[in-house]
Amino acid sequence: MRLLRRGWMYAAMLAVSAFALFPVYWVAITSLKPRSEIYTRTPDLWPSDPQWHQYPRVLGEGHVARALLNSLIVAGATTVVCLIVGAMAAYALTRFEIPFKRVLMMLVLMTQMFPLVVLVIPLFVIMRNAQLLGTYAGLVVTYLAFTVPLAIWVMRGFLVGIPDELEHAARTDGATRLGAMWRVILPLAAPGLATTAVLCFLEGWKEFMLALTFMNEETRKTLPVVLQSFVGRGDTDWGAIMAASVIYTLPVVVVFIVLRKHLMTGTTAGAVKG
Amino acid sequence: MSHGAATEAPAGRIGGPAIDAVGRALARLTLPVLLLLPALIIIVGLVGYPLAKTIWLSFTETRLGDLIDGSGEWVGLENYKEVFTDDHLRTSLVNTVVFGTACVVGTMVFGFAVALLLNQRLRGNVLFSVAVLLPWAVPALAASAIWRWLFDDRYGFVNWALVNIGFSSFRDYAWFADRESAYVAIFVTVVWQSFPFVALSLLAGLQTLPRETLHAAAVDGASAWQRFRLVTLPLLRPIVAVLVVFSTIWDFKIFDQIYVMATGVPERAADTAAVTAYRESFALGHYGVGAAVAVVLFAVLLVFSIVYVRMIGREARA
């Protein structure tokens, strides 16, 4: 009886693993199959003759290389600005007596729950009037709307855990407030900063709606926008789409596996979700 | 920093210690306010102002030209009337609630089952947890592309597998030709992406449960189902509640998956509120109507957000 129960559990575990992994596996092998093996009524579960030619082809012709660069620039710049602004605000919210602190933190968390579509029209007008439509700077600025609150919320969680006494000690020893911040708090907050940086980068990497709205020029499109334009085409080239999907997804998977112990920290603020 | 205190000093002589204290309090606030300022400017300018502006737009008739020079005509509740009477717009709201709720239920039930399984600590558990983690890492756009390919009518794996296990009616079955079957495919995509987070959160909760209580229940002769229903579930209620509200917010505002996967559905019958608000604005140029749809979605989510923030706040204090 007990053995039977165990058996069922192992079967369930295998089924769930298959559900989780198979789509990823299928993408990977589709991107390695020659055309004749992709468009077939009897798909092979294993590519008979794996070929890498999709990757150089996609990176060369399909604007994917350019989009990869664009995504790196936009997500990278967002991360840098967001870390500086977020760390400053989070420090202020943990180390000082500020009126309405609780309300402020709740508002910060709340902004994470807003549907982006409720902001997109005015953001479009703002960017147009500032002549930033279609520029990296414009997209990065709009990304700050949802990454800065996220950074504040995550950073604050880390800063609360660093005891006040350390800072007091440094200041008693003659350090200025900024000196203490720089030499005592910053090194201790390094893991928090790293986590925040990764979460902000991922937000910028994954964002689709604003990039779709603002980046109309082919040379400025980010990866999700290019991927979407592939799927929407009439003569859908699935080999190319799957190769582009692998290029788009791989960095995130690596980050997730490396950081899997720390992933849950950002989740209460709505980060790291699809 | 001493600047504020210095200018307030003479006042202290006239007005007594009360004003002096105010001066010192202001001086103490200078640094934190400076530190907060950039973040405040961003939140007010890029969240607060656009939100107010969208609400204003929802009461106006605004075309692209009006949008640029800000000359939309005030029409009162006209747009909202249209949202609730126009077939397509109303349907997109109903779609959001029905499809969103289905996704929440699907994610919670499946996520809970996986969490219980992970908690059994079977052999190979570490590999299992990495496998479960993987779909979570796939960005929404990639996930949509992947599942769109798996559900392809002629060359998709899903139809091939269904035919091979005996459901021959699925040969060349077009999943994206009508709303209901498109929703089945998108539902699978959304659950696939969302269950890891729910499962791992619940697993963290399961691991904090007192083993003695569960053991005592087993000794008293409670079946596995009774232990789950009478001990595990009540103890996990706070986490389950947070996850349900959180998932509801996420699944109601879903945009990427619908935008990519539901495009082929005739008459855009499978569009949800977020996609409809976007398309009304940027594809059709009805910015006022688009704003009204967005505001309705926002209002619904605001209720859930307040509940969520209160739950998190209570937990943070505890």
What's the count of helices (H) and strands (E) in chain A, helices before strands? Answer: 14, 0
Is the Cβ–Cβ distance between A248 and A225 less than 8 Å?
no
CA dist B274 and B255 (Å) reads 6
Closest CA to B33 of B58, B73, B3, B62: B3
Reply yes or no on whether the pLDDT at B6 is more than 70: no
In the listed set B57, B79, B99, which residue is the last one of a domain according to the structure? B57
Within-domain flag for B232? yes
pLDDT tens per residue, range B238-267: 899 999 999 999 999 999 999 999 988 998
CA dist B35 and B157 (Å) reads 54
Q: What are the tokens at A166?
A: 């350390």
Residue A52, chain B, CB below 8 Å: the answer is no
Closest CA to A154 of A273, A253, A264, A274: A264
Reply yes or no on whether the pLDDT at A85 is more than 80: yes
Is the Cβ–Cβ distance between A117 and B276 less than 8 Å?
no
**How far is C-alpha A245 from the chain's CA centre?**
15
- Considering the domain architecture, whether residues B46 and B187 belong to the same structural domain is answered as no
Who among A141, A249, A270 is closest to B142 (CB)? A249
The band of B269, judged by pLDDT with boundaries at 50, 70 and 90, is very high
Who among B29, B145, B197 is closest to A245 (CB)? B145
Who among B35, B36, B122 is closest to A9 (CB)? B122
Upper half-sphere CA count for residue B118 (Cβ side, 13 Å)? 28
CA-based nearest distance A15→chain B, Å:
11
Is the Cβ–Cβ distance between B53 and A122 less than 8 Å?
yes
Reply yes or no on whether the pLDDT at B38 is more than 90: yes
- Considering the domain architecture, whether residues B177 and B285 belong to the same structural domain is answered as yes
Within-domain flag for B19? yes
Residue with structure tokens 């990823």?
A: A24
- Considering the domain architecture, whether residues B172 and B225 belong to the same structural domain is answered as yes
Average pLDDT, chain A: 87
Structural domain harbouring B132: 87-317
pLDDT tens per residue, range A27-69: 999 999 888 888 888 888 888 788 888 888 888 876 788 999 9
Positive/negative CA dihedral, A260, A266, A267, A270: negative
The band of B14, judged by pLDDT with boundaries at 50, 70 and 90, is low
CA dist B83 and A207 (Å) reads 27
- Which segments of chain B are extended strands (E)? 60-61, 73-74
**pLDDT of amino acid B240:** 93
Total number of domains constituting chain B: 2
**pLDDT of amino acid A271:** 45
Q: Residues of B with CB below 8 A from A148's CB?
A: 39, 42-43
- Considering the domain architecture, whether residues B142 and B264 belong to the same structural domain is answered as yes
Residue B149, chain A, CB below 8 Å: the answer is yes
Q: What are the tokens at B223?
A: 């079946």
Least confident interval from B190-194, B232-236, B276-280? B232-236
Query: Kind and range of the H or E element at A190?
Result: helix A190-206
Least confident interval from B107-111, B145-149, B212-216? B212-216
Instruction: Name B312's Cβ contacts closer than 8 Å, sequence gap at least 6.
Output: A109, A268, B242
Q: How much of chain B is in helix, strand and coil states, percent to nearest 5?
A: 80, 0, 20
Within-domain flag for B77? no
Least confident interval from A75-84, B38-47, B169-178, B215-224? B215-224
- Considering the domain architecture, whether residues B164 and B308 belong to the same structural domain is answered as yes
Within-domain flag for B155? yes
The band of A264, judged by pLDDT with boundaries at 50, 70 and 90, is low
Query: Kind and range of the H or E element at B19?
Result: helix B17-43
The length of chain B in residues reads 318
- Considering the domain architecture, whether residues B191 and B305 belong to the same structural domain is answered as yes
**pLDDT of amino acid B3:** 44
CA dist A20 and A13 (Å) reads 11
> Which CA distances in Å does B151 have to A221, B146, B155, B176, B309?
27, 9, 8, 9, 38
Give percent above pLDDT 90 in chain B. Answer: 64
The domains located in chain A, with CATH, are 24-37+49-269 (1.10.3720.10)
Within-domain flag for B64? no
pLDDT tens per residue, range B60-70: 999 888 888 87
Q: What angle do CA B106, B187, B262 make, to 5 degrees?
A: 160
- Considering the domain architecture, whether residues B178 and B256 belong to the same structural domain is answered as yes
- Considering the domain architecture, whether residues B136 and B180 belong to the same structural domain is answered as yes
Least confident interval from A112-126, B44-58, B98-112, B204-218? B204-218
Closest CA to B237 of B194, B206, B196: B206
Residue A24, chain B, CB below 8 Å: the answer is yes
Q: Residues of B with CB below 8 A from A113's CB?
A: 249, 301, 304-305, 308-309
Reply yes or no on whether the pLDDT at B285 is more than 60: yes
Positive/negative CA dihedral, B182, B183, B186, B191: negative
- Considering the domain architecture, whether residues B36 and B115 belong to the same structural domain is answered as no
Q: Which CATH number belongs to the domain containing residue B153 in this structure?
A: 1.10.3720.10
Is the Cβ–Cβ distance between B187 and B103 less than 8 Å?
yes
Least confident interval from B95-99, B282-286, B312-316? B312-316
ipTM: 0.89
pLDDT tens per residue, range B138-165: 999 999 999 999 999 888 999 999 999 9
**How far is C-alpha A13 from the chain's CA centre?**
29
Which residues face B101 on adjacent strands? none
Give percent above pLDDT 90 in chain A. Answer: 46
Who among B146, B287, B306 is closest to A121 (CB)? B287
- Considering the domain architecture, whether residues B196 and B305 belong to the same structural domain is answered as yes
Query: Kind and range of the H or E element at B140?
Result: helix B140-150
Give the mean pLDDT of A202-221: 94
Give the mean pLDDT of A201-210: 95
**pLDDT of amino acid B16:** 63
pLDDT tens per residue, range A119-159: 999 999 999 999 999 999 999 999 999 999 999 988 988 88
Reply yes or no on whether the pLDDT at B9 is more than 80: no
Give the mean pLDDT of A198-226: 94
Q: Under an 8 A CB cutoff, do B35 and A227 touch?
A: no
**pLDDT of amino acid A168:** 83
Is the Cβ–Cβ distance between A167 and A243 less than 8 Å?
no
- Considering the domain architecture, whether residues B288 and B171 belong to the same structural domain is answered as yes
Within-domain flag for B126? yes
Classify the phi-psi angles of B222: left when phi > 0, otherwise alpha if psi is within -120 to 50, otherwise beta: beta
B89-92's contacts with Cβ under 8 Å and 24+ in sequence apart are B89/B276, B89/B280, B89/B289, B89/B293, B91/B269, B92/B271, B92/B272, B92/B273, B92/B275, B92/B276, B92/B293
**pLDDT of amino acid B65:** 82
The band of A234, judged by pLDDT with boundaries at 50, 70 and 90, is low
Which residues face B73 on adjacent strands? B61
Q: Under an 8 A CB cutoff, do B46 and A42 touch?
A: no
Is the Cβ–Cβ distance between B277 and B96 less than 8 Å?
no
Within-domain flag for B289? yes
Give percent above pLDDT 70 in chain B. Answer: 93
CA dist A25 and B131 (Å) reads 11
- Considering the domain architecture, whether residues B176 and B40 belong to the same structural domain is answered as no
Residue B146, chain A, CB below 8 Å: the answer is yes
Instruction: Concatenate the DSSP letters of all residues of B75-99 into one string.
Output: -TTHHHHHHHHSHHHHHHHHHHHHH
Which residues face B61 on adjacent strands? B73
Within-domain flag for B63? no
